Amino acid sequence: MSKLYKRNGVYCIDAVALKQTDEMFLNCGDSLEVDIKLIDRRHITDKQRRFIFALCGEIARYTGYDSEWVRMELQQQYASVMEIEVESLSSCSMTYANGLIRAIIDYCIYNEIPFAKKIIADYDYTFDEKQSYALALKRRCVICGKHAEIHHVDAIGAGNNRQKISHVGKRALPLCRGCHIKCHTIGNEIFIQENHLSPFIIDKKMEYFIKKGELKVFDDD
C-alpha cells in the first residue's frame, strides 16, 4: 500500500506498485492517469452508531418494517449507489458512517418519513443545502417537520410583492410558522447556529414554484 506525504508544500506518493503493462507505458514515455483513494483509518464513533440505529428505528416505526431489516436494506442501497462494499457498523470508518447517515436522512426526506426533532438535536446533525432545498420542495420544516413556508434569510423587505420581485440568489430555509417566529425573535444567524442549519440558495426552479403560488413564502421577511 502506498503512502501519501507532504514535502515542501507538495503532496507526494511513495512506493507505488505498478503492473508490468503500466511500467511499459511509462518506459515508452507515455503518461498514466491514476485515481487516488484516501483510506480513513478513524473508526466509527459510538455517537454515529447510535444515530444510525435511532434513524432506522424512526423509519421502522413509521413504515412498520423491522428496524434491523431497514438498516440492512439502507446499507445495501448506499453501497450500491456508492459502488462500495457493505461495511459492518462495528468496525467501519467515520467516513463510511457519515455517508450512510446522510443517505438515510436523504431517504427520509424523499419518502416524507418524519424523524423526531430530539434525534437530530441530540446528535448535532447539520442539514446540508441540498437537504434543506429538498425539505422546502416537500414543504416540511427543517426544524420540526411540520408544514413549512419559505423563510428568507436574506430579507427582501416586508410589503414587497412576492410574486413580482426576484427571489433568485437569496438564502432561504423551510420553516413552520412557530419556528419562523422564533427565528425572527432571536435573529437569523443565532437561529441558524443554534439549530445547525445550512440555508439553500433559491434558484429559478424554486422561484417558479413560488411565483405560481405552489410554494408559500412568509410576507414579513
pLDDT tens figures, 184-206: 999 999 999 888 889 999 999 99
| Number of structural domains found in the chain | 2
Q: For 49, phi and psi rounded to 5 degrees?
A: -65, -45
Please say whether the beta carbons of 113 and 58 come within 8 A. Answer: yes
Q: Which residue has the cell 411565483?
A: 211
Could you say which of 75, 103, 121 is where a domain stops? 121
Domain closes at, from 94, 121, 148: 121
**Which of the two residues, 4 and 220, has the higher pLDDT score?**
220
Number of Cα atoms under 13 Å in the Cβ half of residue 102: 15
If asked whether residues 117 and 154 sit together in one domain, one would say no
Asked if residues 148 and 140 have their Cβ atoms less than 8 Å apart, the reply is: yes
Q: Is residue 39 part of a domain?
A: no
Alpha-carbon distance of 33 to 39, in angstroms, equals 19
Nearest to 75 by CA among 42, 103, 54, 34: 103
Q: Domain range for residue 185?
A: 127-212
Residues ≥6 apart with Cβ < 8 Å to 110 = 134
Of 30-39, 50-59, 106-115, the range with the lowest mean pLDDT is 30-39
Kindly state whether residue 156 falls inside one of the protein's structural domains: yes
> What is the reported pTM?
0.73
- 142 with 89, same domain? no
| 38 vs 44, more confident | 44
pLDDT score recorded for residue 122: 79
C-alpha cell at position 21: 503493462
pLDDT at 123 over 60: yes
* Grid cell listed for 47: 455517537
**Percentage of residues in the chain having pLDDT higher than 90:** 58
135 and 189, same domain (yes or no): yes
Please report which confidence band the pLDDT of residue 104 belongs to, taking 50, 70 and 90 as the band edges.
Answer: very high
